[in-house]
């Protein structure tokens, strides 16, 4: 039998994949709505921490950006593991292809 945290992780992965990416706040609200009757209510409070943990563990890709008209605020968008991100001028970064220091993996 899966633990509540495993159910939450699976639902988070499913939601990000189905939505082809989303904001973390939207993800947390959607996860609570779909899990409210399937996990202990106390576990629902842990959803933001679980999302952060999944980002650290590279189970989700978080793209952070600052818009020119909102330069005081960093925004982010979550994408499923394995996503390829292409930036302007042909620069390509594929999630999981770089080490944390930015060096290519051997």
Separation in Å, CA 37 to CA 8, 33, 46: 12, 9, 15
Domain harbouring 74, CATH code: 1.10.10.10
- pLDDT over threshold 90, residue 96: no
pLDDT tier at 105, thresholds 50, 70, 90:
very low
Q: What pLDDT was estimated at residue 103?
A: 45
76 is a domain residue = yes
Q: What pLDDT was estimated at residue 75?
A: 87
23 is a domain residue = yes
Look up residue 18 and give its two tokens: 């189905």
Range of the domain at 19: 4-81
How many domains would you assign to the chain?
Answer: 1
Buried/exposed code over 62-94 (b: 16+ C-beta within 10 A; e: otherwise): beeeeeeeeeeeeeeebbbeebeeeeeeeeeee
pTM for the full predicted model = 0.78
- Cα–Cα distance for residue pair 54/60, rounded to 1 Å: 6
94 is a domain residue = no
pLDDT tier at 94, thresholds 50, 70, 90:
low
- Judge contact between 79 and 21, C-beta under 8 A: yes
Query: Model confidence over 7-60: pLDDT tens digits?
Result: 999 999 999 999 999 999 999 999 999 999 999 989 999 999 999 999 999 999
């Amino acid at each position: 039998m899966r633990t509540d945290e495993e159910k939450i992780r699976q639902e988070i992965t499913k939601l990000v994949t189905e939505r082809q990416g989303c904001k973390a706040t939207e993800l947390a609200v959607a996860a609570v709505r779909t899990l409210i009757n399937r996990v202990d209510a106390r576990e629902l409070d842990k959803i933001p921490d679980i999302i952060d943990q999944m980002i650290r563990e590279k189970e989700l890709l978080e793209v952070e950006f600052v818009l020119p008209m909102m330069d005081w605020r960093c925004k982010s968008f979550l994408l499923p593991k394995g996503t390829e991100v292409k930036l302007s001028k042909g620069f390509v970064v594929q999630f999981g292809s770089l080490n944390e220091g930015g060096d290519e993996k051997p």
